[in-house]
Amino acid sequence: MIRLVYSIVLPVYWNGYVIGKRLCGIRIVKLDGTSPTIGVMLLRVLVGGLVYFCSLGICLIISAFMVGLRDDKRSIHDFIAGTYVTYDRPGENSPE
């Protein structure tokens, strides 16, 4: 339960960062470059997790290949939520 709250709420209030992403200098943003909302994070975490669970982990393996092989590094949960991960800081190359 704490993990869900952490992974859904923290990025909304911390401009797309969670602690690990902040340490790595990356953050989650919507396709338009703005910070994620609660709805977007619910899609990314809960619906994405449900897809991974229902596919018995097959989609998780596919997502790993997507991140490794795609130029934009987007995985299945990014496509579901309309997000991507970037090195850009808030306000840098985005309309925020």
For the segment 50-91, what is each residue's pLDDT rounded down to a tens digit? 999 999 999 999 999 999 999 999 999 999 999 999 999 887
Are the C-beta atoms of residues 62 and 69 closer than 8 Å to each other? no
For the segment 6-39, what is each residue's pLDDT rounded down to a tens digit? 999 999 999 999 999 999 999 999 999 999 999 9
Domain ranges, ordered by start, for the chain: 2-86
In the chain the beta strands, taken as DSSP E runs, fall at 27-30, 83-86
Are the C-beta atoms of residues 34 and 86 closer than 8 Å to each other? no
Are the C-beta atoms of residues 7 and 45 closer than 8 Å to each other? yes
- What pTM, to 2 d.p., does this model score? 0.87
- Cα 6 to chain center, whole Å? 13
3-state helix, strand, coil in the chain (%, to 5): 55, 10, 35
